[in-house]
C-alpha cells in the first residue's frame, strides 16, 4: 500500500447564477468567500472559492458559475455528493436553518452510525451535513452561523460507480485509503483519522445512467499534497499504476496535477502551499477580483465580461 493521501484539498463544482451562489454559501451555510478570481482556462467565468476563515485545505468548495447554462444530471462516473462536517448534536439547528431559508432538504438519517442531513444548494448540487464527535477543526469566526454548530470543513465525498472494484483498488493501493465499512451497495474508504476530509464512499450503481456534468454537478475532487515534492512523488506512483496524469500546472494558490480514476471521476492532487494569502491580506480575502499576472494587462476586458457581483462585507470593514 502507498503512503496515505492527506485527505481532500478542495472540491470544485459548477453553479448557475454567481450571486445566488455567493449568497447561499456565505449567507446560509456561513462559509467565507476566500478568493474571487476567474477560471484560468476560461477567464470570462468566475472562479469562486469558499472555505473557513483562512481557506485552509480540507475546507474549500469552489465553483465555476455558468449563468444560463442547463442543469446537469448526476450519475455514474461522477462525484455525486459532498459532505460537510459539523459537531455532534448540530443537525437540529441546521434543519431549522435550512427550512427558514427555503432550502430543499430531507430528514436526517443514519449512515455508518452517524447522523446525516441531506440537502440541495440552489443549483441542485447534492450536499450533506454529517454530525460526529471528531468535528474538531475551528469554525469560521464572524459568520452568520453560531460557532458551536458551524461547518468545520469537509467530511468526504460520494462517488457513483458502475462497478467499484477497480476504483477501490486504486484508492487502497495507490492513494493509501483503507476500507472501513460496508452498507448495502455503499463502500466506505478513509484516510488519516477518517474524518474531516478523509472519507470516500463508493456507491456501486450498475444500473444507473452515466452522469452529465453541468450546473449542479461536481467537476472534480482535489486531494492534498503537503509539498510540490510530495506531489511529484505521488504523480510517479500514479503513472506506475497505469494512469494518465498531467504535468504540474501552476494555479497560483496551489500546484495541480489531474487524472481520472478508473470509474471516470476527475481527480486532482493539489499542493497545500502557497495558499490564498499570497496575493491579498488575510483579513481581505475574497474582497477583490484577483487575477494571475498574465491576465493583469487584460483586467479591464476581463471585468467587462464578468457579470456584476455583490460581495459579502470583508472582515476588516465590519
Q: Convert the pLDDT of each residue in 245-296 to its tens digit.
A: 999 999 999 999 999 999 999 999 999 999 999 999 999 999 999 999 999 9
Per-residue exposure over 105-117, b if at least 16 CB sit within 10 Å of its own CB, e if not? beebeebeebbbb
Q: What's the full length of the chain, in residues?
A: 318
Cα 178 from chain centroid? 21
Per-residue model confidence (pLDDT) at position 197: 86
Q: Are 149 and 87 in contact (CB under 8 A)?
A: yes
Does the structure show a pLDDT above 70 at 317? no
Summarised one tens digit per residue, pLDDT across range 152-166 is 999 999 999 999 999
Rounded CA gap, 310 and 318, in Å?
A: 16
Rounded CA gap, 196 and 193, in Å?
A: 8
pTM, to two decimals: 0.96
Per-residue model confidence (pLDDT) at position 316: 43
Domain borders along the chain are: 8-317
Does the structure show a pLDDT above 60 at 1? no
Burial of 300 (0-12, 13-18, 19+ CB in 10 A): exposed
- Number of other residues whose CB lies within 10 A of the CB of residue 162: 16
Question: Looking at the domain that runs over 8-317, which CATH code has it been given?
Answer: 3.10.180.10
Amino acid at each position: 500500500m502507498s503512503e496515505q493521501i492527506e485527505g481532500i484539498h478542495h472540491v470544485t463544482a459548477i453553479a448557475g447564477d454567481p450571486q445566488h451562489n455567493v449568497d447561499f454559501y456565505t449567507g446560509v451555510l456561513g462559509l467565507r468567500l476566500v478568493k474571487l478570481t476567474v477560471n484560468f482556462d476560461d477567464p470570462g467565468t468566475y472562479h469562486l472559492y469558499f472555505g473557513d476563515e483562512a481557506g485552509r485545505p480540507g475546507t474549500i468548495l469552489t465553483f465555476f458559475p455558468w449563468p444560463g447554462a442547463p442543469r446537469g444530471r448526476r450519475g455514474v462516473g461522477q462525484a455525486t455528493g459532498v459532505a460537510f462536517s459539523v459537531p455532534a448534536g448540530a443537525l437540529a439547528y441546521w434543519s431549522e436553518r435550512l427550512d427558514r431559508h427555503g432550502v430543499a432538504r430531507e430528514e436526517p438519517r443514519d449512515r455508518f452510525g452517524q447522523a446525516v442531513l441531506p440537502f440541495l444548494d440552489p443549483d441542485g448540487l447534492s450536499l450533506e451535513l454529517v454530525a460526529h464527535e471528531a468535528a474538531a477543526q475551528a469554525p469560521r469566526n464572524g459568520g452568520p452561523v453560531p460557532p458551536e454548530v458551524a461547518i468545520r470543513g469537509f467530511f468526504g465525498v460520494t462517488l457513483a460507480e458502475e462497478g467499484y472494484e477497480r476504483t477501490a483498488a486504486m484508492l487502497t493501493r495507490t492513494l493509501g485509503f483503507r476500507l472501513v465499512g460496508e452498507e448495502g451497495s455503499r463502500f466506505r474508504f478513509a484516510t488519516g483519522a477518517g474524518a474531516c476530509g478523509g472519507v470516500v464512499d463508493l456507491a456501486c450503481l450498475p444500473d444507473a445512467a452515466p452522469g452529465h456534468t453541468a450546473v449542479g454537478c461536481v467537476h472534480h475532487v482535489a486531494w492534498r499534497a503537503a509539498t510540490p515534492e510530495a506531489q511529484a512523488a505521488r504523480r510517479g506512483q500514479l503513472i506506475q499504476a497505469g494512469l494518465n496524469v498531467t504535468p504540474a500546472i501552476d494555479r497560483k494558490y496551489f500546484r495541480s496535477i489531474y487524472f481520472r480514476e478508473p470509474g471516470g471521476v476527475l481527480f486532482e492532487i493539489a499542493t497545500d502551499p502557497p495558499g490564498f494569502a499570497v496575493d491579498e491580506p488575510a483579513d481581505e480575502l475574497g474582497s477583490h477580483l484577483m487575477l494571475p499576472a498574465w491576465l493583469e494587462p487584460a483586467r479591464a476586458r476581463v471585468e467587462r465580461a464578468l457579470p456584476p457581483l455583490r460581495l459579502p462585507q470583508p472582515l476588516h470593514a465590519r
